[in-house]
Chains A and B, each alone.
Chain A
Amino acid sequence: MKRKEEILAWLDTNPRIQDLKKFAKQLGVRLRKSMKKREVIRAIKDFLKKETIETRSSATSPGVKVEEKRVEEVKELPKTYDKDKLVLLPVNPNWLFIYWDMSPETRKIVENLEPGSSVVLRVHDVTYIIFDGRNAHRTFEAHIDVRYTSNYYINVPMPNADYLAELGYKTPYGEFVPLMRSNVARTPSNSPSPSNRERWYDLRKRRRSVFPSKGVVIKPVERVRVSSPGKGVEYSGGGAFLWESIRSGGIL
């Protein structure tokens, strides 16, 4: 492995102790604070000896190159961006996903609610309306725990409907105080439209026309979900990226 040789060559150039320690740390070599330069070099060399070609998962992959480690310490992803954010995403016709983040100010409010108050999530059906806080077709509410989670899946009754969520708290007197409002998310449709019009477009004349439908000529044979014990799940309706995944219940 040529990388190893490069490192050994560098160790011979009498590098500074700070650089050695920094490098050792990036390699993942354990050091004691009291170690002398000679000892650090020894520790690195010992580490390199052990670090031959061992079986690794593909994630770290062969011959872990040092440049990469040098510039990137593997840190954990941030747990918060300290911003107020409530985001609603459709998953399928009956499920929404919601996640949130909070500014320090909001977090403070939530963490210091007066006794008897609780954090709640409200989901409003706002299909075809401009929501003013009170005019939703339907409103659903769930008590949530914001200390340990920052997302939920929400089961909603209507496909092809617009939903909007609010995260807030309820006072001991039952009053709802919204803290954050989400975007509007539309659940996908899962049934043929009841519409009985047909719109047509003339590409040459660039003209649109509308008339009542006489019914469809080709009726779809829709898919239905079936399951039977022992059968895997099909992850792709066709296509998608199937490398190495077919065996786990895929298409063949």
Chain B
Amino acid sequence: MKGYMILFLHAHLPYIKHPEYDEFLEERWLFEAMMETYIPLIMMFRKLEKDDVSFRITMSITPPLMEMLSSEDMQKKFERHMEKLVELAEKEVKRTESEHPKKNKMARYYFEYFKEILRVFREDLKGDLLRSFGEYQEKGYVELVTCNATHGFLPLMEIYPQAVRAQIEIGIKTYEKYFDRRPRGIWLAECGYFLGLEKYLAEAGIEYFFVDSHAFWYADDQPRYGVYRPIITPSEVLAFARDPESSEQVWSATVGYPGDHRYREFYRDIGFDREYDYIKPYIDPSGVRVNTGIKYHKITSKDLDLSKKELYDIDEAKMVAREHARDFLYKKVKQVERLSSLMGVEPIIVAPFDAELFGHWWYEGVIFLEEFIRLLKGQNTIKLVTPSEIIDKLDVVQMVTPAASSWGANGYYEVWLNGKNDWIYPHVHEMVEKMTEMVKKFENMEDPLIDRALKQMARELLLAQSSDWAFIITTGTSVDYAVNRVKKHIMRFLDIYDQLSKGRIDEERLSYYEWVDGIFDDIDYRVYLKVGEVS
């Protein structure tokens, strides 16, 4: 082999779980990701395994996602969601008979596909996706890393070491709970890295993490091989940096594969197209129209009005995805040849993506991945590896401290800190101080009710810290929901703080908070006592 590639999928959704509602609009985000990305990925693993195609994929499944996927409540809700979708697809099969044959073909496709997803979920996976991902890890095909607890953006909590530690340690503990081993690596939310963060990772026993390309380019010494070899920080944690070329080929607005005109158009969905009375049982119970997952149109042309899009053909799109996989492999091979001739050592290409890009946003993305993996067999220039495989073989490695950075727009922190969302930080910072104050105050107290109150305070704090709310507020869609979530977590936290200060805990109210914000069952808030910087 002349070079290696780490294909990294970052699977994440914020903790959106509303047991207080039978159906909740934003819970659909999880169901869509399960139906279009997570389950199809597992189905891909199974196919590849069956066909004896070896592969290596590195994945982060974030702690909130672990908590949602393992929740029986959410599993039941997903089943109900899929049952209704199968029902809708069946209606569509009949309905499209008198419409265009291409639509009818797609309706039949969806009907069969949804039934298959539901069957796999129920019978093969028994509702438990995490166990399946864990099994593929045990078999050596997949390496799972963790992520910081609630995907909090760590650079903006640098001034509170205990908050950084809580995010990291709870991320590790949640991983251990579901995968029964310690994670070797971590995906830092949004690749958010600040100088010194690696010390906390070292303290927590993490061996490696990921950063964006410019974290290496602007490091304290220039890495000899750019982003194409890992580095080690002075605190002896390894870091891998994103390859800009791979990102651009897949992500880019202008030249990326997902923009091909023959691919499925995400925004044209029968949830919006069908007449209200017909679609009403399948959209949000409030009557708000939402995506159903049944889509009949292709991108056609990017600038075209949605109403002018042409009909989609799944077979044509699959063919395109395979073509793109071939093209991607060709480019990777050429890249490795070019790099290895310059470097004299094997280049390691790190290609991280949001997992939900594949299947959800880019409907044909999973087919693309599968084809890419299958094609790798026919050449011997580049090979998929996991970070651990690289680390275990590594002899010497350059020592640098990466530069502060993120993978957000413009590379730093402004997506999560700007005029729209900066109001969040005074509150979440104050919450860290109040959290620490209360844990200290009751450190030697063994009162089950106080223990519950402190646990719930930690949950509210961590949930308020999710980078997702600040991100959504910046991007401008679902803003009300995100603002509301931040406010609720702050208010609930302050309410409990108030009760603790007065020494009167309203047990009923606490139970309610535990029910609606029930993440991290056995959370250990004592981590908030560790306020000192790492020596």
- Residues of chain A whose beta carbon lies under 8 Å from any beta carbon of chain B: 53-59, 61-63, 65, 67-68, 71-72, 74-75, 77-78, 81, 83, 85, 87, 89-93, 95, 97, 99, 101, 150-151, 153, 160, 183, 186, 188-193, 195, 197-204, 208, 213, 216-223, 225, 233-248, 250-252
Contact A55 B414 (CB under 8 A): no
B217: Cβ under 8 A from any A Cβ = yes
Q: How far is the CB of A196 from chain B (nearest CB, A)?
A: 8
Contact A235 B408 (CB under 8 A): yes
Roughly how many angstroms separate A23 CA and B467 CA in the complex, as a whole number? 35
Closest 9 CB pairs of A and B: A59-B480, A218-B226, A92-B412, A188-B404, A245-B475, A199-B399, A62-B286, A189-B218, A62-B285
Q: Which of B227, B362, B512 has the largest number of chain A CB atoms within 10 A?
A: B512
Complex interface bits, B490-515 against A, C-beta within 8 A gives 1, otherwise 0: 11101100000000000011001000
Residues of chain B with a CB closer than 8 A to A216's CB: 222-226
**Given A77-B491, A190-B218, are A97 and B244 also a contact pair (CB < 8 Å)?**
no
- Whether B221 contacts A225 by the Cβ 8 Å rule is no
Which residues, 468 to 493 on B, are CB-close (under 8 Å) to A?
468, 471-472, 474-478, 480-481, 483-484, 487-488, 490-492
Residues of B within 8 A of A (CB): 10, 12-14, 18, 20-26, 29, 155-156, 159, 190-191, 194-195, 212-214, 216-228, 232, 236, 242, 244, 247, 251-253, 256, 258-259, 266-267, 284-288, 299, 302, 339, 342-344, 352-354, 356-357, 361-362, 394-400, 403-415, 417-419, 422-423, 425-427, 429-430, 467-468, 471-472, 474-478, 480-481, 483-484, 487-488, 490-492, 494-495, 508-509, 512, 516
Whether A238 pairs with B480 at a CB distance below 8 angstroms is: no
Contacts of B222 in A (CB 8 A): 192-193, 195, 213, 216
Point out the residue from B159, B221, B472, B509 that lies within 8 Å of A199, measured CB to CB. B221
Complex Cα gap A56–B270 (Å): 20
Are A56's CB and B422's CB within 8 A? Answer: no
Contact of A198 among B221, B412, B471, B508 (CB under 8 A): B221
In the assembled complex, the Cα of A188 lies from the Cα of B211 at a distance in Å of 14
Complex-state Cα separation, A68 to B267, whole angstroms: 33
**Interchain nearest-CB distance for A102 vs B (Å):** 12
Whether the Cβ atoms of B477 and A238 lie closer than 8 Å is no
B417→A91 contact, CB < 8 A:
yes
Determine whether the beta carbon of B159 is less than 8 Å from that of A87: yes
Query: Which residues from B are CB-within-8-Å of A75?
Result: 491
> Are B221 and A91 neighbours in the complex by a CB distance under 8 Å?
no
Contacts of B18 in A (CB 8 A): 61
